[in-house]
């Protein structure tokens, strides 16, 4: 936790949130502590709209529209959560990241969103992001150690 405790603007990739929502035995406690820390310190937690899409899609696939709406409310009504839409600058940066680093479409949008929101720390499962950003990138594996 020490690696993110000084963060004022934490960007969370979709994977950590999905591990939390799926109660992953190794990562649920870690992500839960991260969220507790964010709320205790009144830091800002930033997500890409891509993350909302991914978690809501899973709920709709499971034929659970109520859960999908609950996710939408979490992203839109939590006072410390900011969801950044994909705008021109994010789309342009994502295209560059995708071409330069051979990323998936979703990864490039996530990375560009982290950069353009001014995040001072990024939480992800993607170890390679450490090579692409000038801010600290912390993986779930780092926090598990």
Which residues, other chains included, contact 113 with Cβ-Cβ below 8 Å and sequence gap of 6+?
11, 46, 48, 49, 50, 84, 86, 90
Phi, psi for 16 (deg, rounded to 5): -60, -40
The number of folded domains in the chain is 1
The answer to whether position 95 is within a domain reads: no
The answer to whether position 90 is within a domain reads: no
pTM: 0.91
The answer to whether position 110 is within a domain reads: no
Q: DSSP secondary-structure letter at 24?
A: -
Which residue range is the domain that position 43 belongs to? Answer: 9-84+118-144
CATH assignment at residue 52: 3.40.50.1010
pLDDT tens readout for residues 65-100: 999 999 999 888 888 899 999 999 999 999 999 999
- How large is the angle between the packed helices 105-116 and 49-61, nearest 10 degrees? 140
């Amino acid at each position: 936790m020490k690696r993110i405790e000084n963060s004022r603007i934490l960007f969370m990739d979709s994977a950590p949130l999905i591990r939390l929502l799926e109660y992953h035995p190794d990562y649920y406690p870690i992500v839960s502590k991260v969220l507790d820390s964010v709320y205790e310190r009144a830091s800002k937690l930033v997500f890409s709209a891509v993350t909302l899409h991914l978690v809501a899609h899973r709920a709709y696939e499971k034929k659970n529209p109520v859960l999908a709406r609950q996710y939408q409310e979490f992203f839109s009504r939590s006072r410390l959560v900011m969801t950044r839409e994909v705008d021109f600058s994010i789309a342009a940066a994502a295209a560059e990241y995708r071409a330069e680093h051979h990323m998936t479409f979703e990864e490039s949008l996530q990375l560009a969103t982290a950069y353009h929101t001014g995040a001072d720390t990024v939480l992800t499962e993607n170890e390679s992001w450490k090579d692409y950003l000038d801010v600290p990138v912390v993986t779930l594996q780092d926090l598990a150690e």
